Amino acid sequence: MSDVLARLRALQEGDLPTHGGSTLAYVYDSGLAEADEIGRTALAQYGATNGLDPTVFPSLRTLENDLVGWAARLLRGEAAVGTVTSGGTESVLLAVQAARDASPGITSPSMVLPSTAHAAFHKAAHYFGVRAIVVDVDPVTFTPRPEDVAAACDEATVLLVASAPSYAQGVVDPVPAIAAVAAERGVRCHVDACIGGWILPYLRLDGVEVPDFDFAVPGVTSISVDLHKYGYTPKGASILLHRDASLRRSQFFASADWPGYTMLNSTLQSTKSGAPVAAVWAVVHHIGDDGYQRLARTAYDAAVQLAGRIRTIDGLTVLADPATTLVALRSDERADVFTIADEMAALGWFVQPQLSFRGQPASLHLTVSAATAARMEELVKALESATRAAQLAGPVQVAPELAAAAGALDPSTLDDDAFDGLLSVAGLGDTATTGSLPDRMAPVNALLDVAPPRLREALLIAFLDRLMRPTWSAAGTDQHPLRRLVRRTAAC
């Protein structure tokens, strides 16, 4: 048994560090070792429980109602109800699904999204057949103009969306104006506060001027807030709140159309581990309001400081003043951001490339968590030296013929051989078979950057398809009876 755990630890050595503040996307580190320990213990304690039925594990219902109450208080929803989901995407999916199903008479429902809305809304559009009407944001503020949102609505619009803040640029949309448009039309307005919903209320408590974005704003009907981001909890938890119980009803699903137990679900999952709810509950109560207020202030001050320091680095600009804890930056023409990201990786820092989009150049995204604050000087020095190195190297050049060819390809006409060829050209051929990424991602990113969005998607799906292939790794595989059976079957 200790052997398999040792093997797990060895495997993990190839992963990005989840703690220490040097991974500036995907993970969130409070820097509080005791909170992490409590989360891990609660996960283990509840790993075998099932949240399928709130009457058989009553403790899970208690924990969930307590957490939803905490979130409703933070987000000022006096009559709010909610559900703990597996993550931000599930919260967003359910908000869209609930909006769609609250208007069953509308045959081709639509939702209006700022172009900065999280991709989870496009996933919801894809899964649930809700048309996404995208409104471009102002190129300077990165927020949508409310009049553009109003003009984009059609007769079948069931939902308007605003972010607090958006992931890519970290700015808060004009929620009161967008919610007013929704209220006037009698449709729902979802505020995606997945990444800011556990930060903004605590910043407000700490005296920071925070724009109104929550249920205090008339017309806001639902809010998503992730615990596995700035709640600093183990992964697998977000909350979807509705302003009142009547708005949540269409989110729930029951089926009596089979001979087993009548299925009754509040989320996309049916059997679901109780572990994330228990872990979140334990961590949230351990850190507490005072702890979160301090953590929010620490990460926010660090983000503001980081943005200020980036502005002093020759060649870099910050896209927007951080509204919370997110910083996005661009480089001038002397360097490309993809090379800066590679140089940062070589120095031990993970920053996230964001490809060019609807006329906006490529950028880097840095999610600052409390643990990063203690390493600010180191981070700024790394950015300075990575930028200098990238300027010396110059931007990655994509051959113009290649860029033109990429622009002309129709991904729907490509077969598997064509994708294999394209992945090799992109520098991902070996990764697809070995699973290890190239040392330098800049050439890959530069090529993806000139590909139109549909081709980017198709290429990455082909990549994922090749990456995720099962291994037959049981010890002594050849002697395994199942293996012999398979071989015999294949032979006949």
Nearest to 231 by CA among 423, 32, 47: 32
Smallest distance, ligand PLP to C-beta of residue 376, A: 22
| Binding piece for ligand PLP, criterion CB under 6 A, among 85-93, 279-287, 308-316, 453-461 | 85-93
Calpha distance 247→169 (Å, rounded): 30
Residue 486 beta carbon to ligand PLP: minimum distance, rounded to whole angstroms = 37
Please tell me the distance from the alpha carbon of residue 242 to that of residue 86, in angstroms, as a whole number.
17
Taking the CA atoms of residue 267, residue 272, residue 277 and residue 279 in that order, the dihedral angle to the nearest 10 degrees is -150
92 binds ligand PLP (CB under 6 A): yes
Mask for 208-237, x = binds ligand PLP (CB under 6 A): ------------------x-----------
Q: How far is it, in rounded angstroms, from Cα 77 to Cα 221? A: 10
Q: Which of residues 111-130 bind ligand PLP (CB under 6 A)?
A: 118, 120
Strands (E), 141-287: 157-163, 188-192, 222-226, 238-242, 253-255, 263-265
Region binding ligand PLP by CB under 6 A among candidate stretches 188-196, 445-453, 463-471, 482-490: 188-196
Among 39, 88, 146, 170, binds ligand PLP (CB under 6 A): 88
- Of 277, 296, 293, 233, nearest to 37 by C-alpha is 233
Q: Tell me the closest approach of the beta carbon of residue 87 to ligand PLP, in angstroms.
A: 3
By CB under 6 A, residue 190 contacts ligand PLP:
no
194 touches ligand PLP by CB under 6 A: yes
Minimum Å gap between C-beta 215 and ligand PLP is 18
In the list 71, 112, 177, 195, the residue contacting ligand PLP (rule: CB under 6 A) is 195
Q: Would you say 96 or 150 has its CB closer to ligand PLP?
A: 96
User: Which residue in 303, 301, 327, 325 sits closest to 316, CA to CA?
Assistant: 327
Min dist CB 356 to ligand PLP, Å, is 20
Q: Which is nearer to ligand PLP, 120 or 316 (CB)?
A: 120
163 lies in the site for ligand PLP, by CB under 6 A: yes
By CB under 6 A, tell whether 28 contacts ligand PLP.
no
Q: Which is nearer to ligand PLP, 42 or 195 (CB)?
A: 195
Tell me which stretch binds ligand PLP (CB under 6 A): 46-54, 150-158, 189-197, 395-403: 189-197
Q: Which residue is nearest to ligand PLP (CB)?
A: 88
Segment 416 to 445, residues that bind ligand PLP, using CB under 6 A: none
Q: Where are the beta strands (DSSP E) in 215-345?
A: 222-226, 238-242, 253-255, 263-265, 316-318, 326-331
Select 331 or 372, whichever has its Cβ closest to ligand PLP. 372
Cα end-to-end distance, the chain, whole Å: 39
DSSP secondary structure code for residue 282 in this structure: H
CB within 8 Å of 273: residues ≥ 6 apart = 46, 47, 49, 50, 51, 236
Q: What is the number of other CB atoms lying within 10 angstroms of the CB of residue 371?
A: 23
H-assigned helices in 13-57 = 33-46
Q: Is 241 in the site for ligand PLP (CB under 6 A)?
A: no
Among 89, 265, 325, 445, indicate the residue that binds ligand PLP (CB under 6 A): 89
Torsion of CA 222, 72, 84, 56, to 10 degrees: -130
Per DSSP bridges, beta strands 188-192 and 222-226 are: parallel
Select from 86-94, 150-158, 294-302, 384-392 the region that touches ligand PLP (CB under 6 A). 86-94
Q: Report how far residue 105's alpha carbon sits from residue 45's, in angstroms, rounded to the nearest whole number.
A: 45
Q: How far is CA 412 from CA 220, 402, 409, in A?
A: 39, 19, 9
Binding footprint of ligand PLP, residue count (CB under 6 A) = 13
User: Applying CB under 6 A, which residues contact ligand PLP?
Assistant: 87-89, 92, 118, 120, 163, 167, 192, 194-195, 226, 238
